[in-house]
Structure 1
Amino acid sequence: MSRLDGYIARTVMLSILAVLMVILGLDVISAIVDQLGELEGGYQFGNMLEYVLWTLPERIYSQLGFSALVGCMVGLGTLASTSELTVMRASGISIGRIAWAVMKPVLVLIVLGLVLAELVIPMTNQEANSRKAIAKGELEAVGLEQGLWLQDDGEFVHFNAALPGGTLFGITRYRFDENHQLQKVVFSERGHFASGHWELQNSRQTTLTPERADSSIEARSVWDSDISPDLFAMVVPLPSDLSPRNLWSYAQFLDRKGEESGRYWLAFWKKVLQPLTIAGLVMMAISFIFGPLREVTTGLRVFMGVIVGIVFQTVQDMLGPSSVVFGFPPLIAVIVPILASFLLGWLMLKRAR
């Protein structure tokens, strides 16, 4: 029986990987075409390819559920087309046993997704965005819509780009007095964290008084701050760049501050419940093969898999923003499509028996 389980698992896994490679290839081509319009200055074709490569983990992660759905339909459909599933059923092997054999390779995808979300994507996305900003020359002072803002010891600090490991670019520090009057502005081209403090390079300082403004330049200086490199794993522009652990921490922080945290909770529940999402889609795929798609062609199975995946993603994409706009819990927006997929799959499997 273990040999049969291994055969089913291997067939399904190869189909999932094939589908994932095709979808990922199309996604990469689309990303390259999109980035071509941004080529300018120091951001050339080689930099663009580097940016796309750094974002590959997130692209893989976002396609795991869709690939599992279509891949399972193709793999099981192949077994059905060659009457192997019929022979298995005639030999007394239950649908539940076959479904469990299918779920085994899916567990590998689930573990891969958890590792990517928690450990890999936060680092690679930050690296990609920072390298892109550096290549485009965004190292001088920029507007409020770019970079990262933090408050530190009475100063408002802005960073144009941050690389993992403790390297900052374009550091601008604003200090105000008790009357909210600007006292000092310091811009540093680059900073590196070492020995518990930041070592700054090429700093330009402007001190403002009621009578005049004094300016000075320092090639190297030291900045003592409580801001650590670890903080940049959390303070990023997009919730999708955060790990589930940091999403939880940052959403709770926003709740304590009384600020809007809905989109961070939404991203958190999407990542935490992704294993259930994949399992629900796979259950639907199994139910289709033992139900209405048992005798159809592989092309029709792929088409139906794509349609089901698009419908599932569309429903989740509609409910997610709706939870933020209308104020109902993001958990409901994420879990309703998952429960619907499990229920539909269970009903169809029950009917197939």
Structure 2
Amino acid sequence: MNILERYIASHVASAIAIVLLIILGLDCLMALIDQLDRLNDHYTFVGALHYVALTAPRRLYEFIPLGGLVGAMIGLGMLASHSELTVMRAAGFSTQRILLAVFKPVLLLAVMGMVIGQFVAPLTERKAQSARAVALSGDGTFFVRGGVWHKEGTEYIHINAVESGDVIHGVTRYQFDDQMQLIRSSHARIGRYAGDVWLLEQVQETRLLGTHTETALLAEERWNSGLTPDLLAVVVLEPEDLSISGLWSYTEYLEAQGIKADTYLLAFWGKLLQPLSIGALVLIGISFIFGPLRSVPIGQRVISGVVLGLVFKFAQDLLGPASTVFGFPPFLAILIPILICGGAGWLMLRRAG
């Protein structure tokens, strides 16, 4: 990498870093404010700060495409505003070499995003959600907002909180017969995974027996379930917060249960193709710098980048449900906006010369 390439790459990298820090800071501040109305004797302000800090990697991961787009537009746009790009091109530094210099920090950004999305964000997000749920349930009731629903065969399960991979709280189970008539419900205070079975403690059971019901209190109940701690770590999070490998394994599990997994497939392809999304957005952003946004103020570039990123995100969000309705593969809902965005950027760059 020669001096000019390092100069361009450093400008773009620093602009991306500043944009991401600003966006992440604002989002964390808004998240902290949102937590204030949930504070109680057990979920304190320190706990809310801890929750927001643990969710920061997931928030950073979500903003990486937008941060890469806006940062690249600002970094390269500043060079264009001072006519430095014009001087470079006049000196024989081609547009292709400028693109290569810009994409070097963008490639590092994409790799960082994959690492955070696969290894860091799912772990910290799970800890954040579990710690908050347990804190909100500090009075022992465990009837808190949120939790997770899960279906296994003819049984519907709700889990209020997951303290760790093998400890769960507030396990409510509804069991139906083949005619989908409710025949049993139960609520367990806590459950622990013991090798290949869940041991549920302090169980309140209700059986529906035609014209009457029977209730019982059980100190312990063995629950055989395919919901292992590894799968449970996937269930408690939203699809967008899961790792790529976790999404794929849970998709296979749902399909084995005969349950449609389109939501998880959309999240899987979105995460897997995120580097292409970043590249397509940065490419069209660069084409704007060489074209219509060559000499506009920095504020207008920021607004243009944000609008472009939102349009791209909305396109993927709209095509996601459309793939379910019209029956085309979920990966096309993610890939089509990428191809359109990347193709448009490439054509604009060729016209700009």
Q: What TM-score do you get using the length of structure 2 for normalisation?
A: 0.85
Aligned residue in 1 for 2:240: 240
Using a 3 Å threshold, how does the CA distance of structure 1 residues 90 and 236 change in structure 2: closer, same or farther?
A: same
Using a 3 Å threshold, how does the CA distance of structure 1 residues 184 and 236 change in structure 2: closer, same or farther?
A: closer
Check the 8 A contact 1:199/1:222 in 2, yes or no.
yes
Q: Which amino acid aligns with 1:48?
A: A
Displacement after TM superposition at 1:75 (Å): 0.5
- The 1-side partners of 2:37 and 2:46 are apart by 14
Aligned residue in 2 for 1:334: 334
Aligned residue in 1 for 2:147: 146
Aligned residue in 1 for 2:132: 132
SS in 2 for 1:170: strand
Aligned residue in 2 for 1:108: 108
Check the 8 A contact 1:41/1:137 in 2, yes or no.
no
Aligned residue in 1 for 2:275: 275
- The 1-side partners of 2:87 and 2:60 are apart by 35
Aligned residue in 2 for 1:65: 65
The equivalences for 1:200-279 within 5 A come to 203-204=202-203, 206=205, 215=216, 218=219, 223=222, 225=224, 227-236=227-236, 238-279=238-279
Aligned residue in 1 for 2:35: 35
Q: Which amino acid aligns with 2:53?
A: L
Structure 2 residue 102 is the aligned partner of structure 1 residue 94: no
Unmatched 5+ residue regions in structure 2? none
Using a 3 Å threshold, how does the CA distance of structure 1 residues 87 and 181 change in structure 2: closer, same or farther?
A: closer
Using a 3 Å threshold, how does the CA distance of structure 1 residues 215 and 280 change in structure 2: closer, same or farther?
A: same
- The 2-side partners of 1:37 and 1:331 are apart by 39
The equivalences for 1:19-58 within 5 A come to 19-40=19-40, 42-58=42-58
Check the 8 A contact 1:197/1:222 in 2, yes or no.
no
Using a 3 Å threshold, how does the CA distance of structure 1 residues 159 and 302 change in structure 2: closer, same or farther?
A: closer
Check the 8 A contact 1:69/1:278 in 2, yes or no.
yes
**Residue-pair matches, total:** 348
Aligned residue in 2 for 1:345: 345
- The 2-side partners of 1:177 and 1:89 are apart by 74
SS in 2 for 1:294: coil
Aligned residue in 2 for 1:7: 7
SS in 1 for 2:295: coil
Using a 3 Å threshold, how does the CA distance of structure 1 residues 312 and 242 change in structure 2: closer, same or farther?
A: same
Using a 3 Å threshold, how does the CA distance of structure 1 residues 206 and 76 change in structure 2: closer, same or farther?
A: closer
Check the 8 A contact 1:236/1:242 in 2, yes or no.
no
Check the 8 A contact 1:24/1:60 in 2, yes or no.
yes
- The 2-side partners of 1:122 and 1:261 are apart by 19
Q: Which amino acid aligns with 2:148?
A: G
Which segment drifts farther, 162-171 or 75-84? 162-171
Displacement after TM superposition at 1:270 (Å): 1.0
Displacement after TM superposition at 1:103 (Å): 0.5
- The 2-side partners of 1:75 and 1:177 are apart by 62
Displacement after TM superposition at 1:312 (Å): 1.7
Check the 8 A contact 1:284/1:341 in 2, yes or no.
yes
Using a 3 Å threshold, how does the CA distance of structure 1 residues 176 and 81 change in structure 2: closer, same or farther?
A: closer
Unmatched 5+ residue regions in structure 1? none
Q: Which amino acid aligns with 1:146?
A: G
The equivalences for 1:280-299 within 5 A come to 280-299=280-299
Displacement after TM superposition at 1:23 (Å): 1.0
- The 2-side partners of 1:198 and 1:255 are apart by 23
Aligned residue in 2 for 1:322: 322
Displacement after TM superposition at 1:173 (Å): 5.8
Displacement after TM superposition at 1:129 (Å): 1.6
Q: Which amino acid aligns with 2:91?
A: S
Q: Which amino acid aligns with 1:317?
A: D
